[in-house]
Amino acid sequence: MWKSGGTVTTKIGYVNRNNQKNHGSRGVSGTDHGQVSYKLECLNPNCGHVYGANGTDIFQRKCPKCQGGIDGIEF
């Protein structure tokens, strides 16, 4: 079951400035202190890559596949 976080950027459906959509968290620990990971999806045409990111990174994440962003984490 996917859940929203408590901030605007961690809410299910949030899309950041790089066209990355948040699909929520299942409570899996992230790699940043005290964070959980969130499932992100690249909405850019011809991509659709799905990857994990810490909640603190969602607002600025770039797709690892088509935008040169860092590799995702387990979600």
* Residues 35-42, mean pLDDT to the nearest whole number: 98
Can you read off the two tokens belonging to residue 53?
């990111």
Is 39 within a domain?
A: yes
What confidence tens digit (pLDDT) does each residue in 39-57 have? 999 999 999 999 999 999 9
pLDDT at 3: 98
Does a structural domain hold residue 74? no
The reported pLDDT for the residue numbered 63 is 98
Residues near 25 by beta carbon (within 8 Å), at least 6 away in sequence: 2, 3, 4, 5, 10, 36, 37, 38, 39, 55, 75
Residue of 51, 58, 43 whose CA lies nearest to 75: 51
Which residue range is the domain that position 36 belongs to? Answer: 8-60
pLDDT in tens, 7-34: 999 999 999 999 999 999 999 999 999 9
Decide if 50 is inside a domain: yes
What is the predicted pLDDT for the residue at 60? 98
pLDDT of residue 22: 98
H helices then E strands: how many in the chain? 0, 3
Cα Dmax for the chain: 34
65 located within any domain = no
In a domain, 56, yes or no: yes
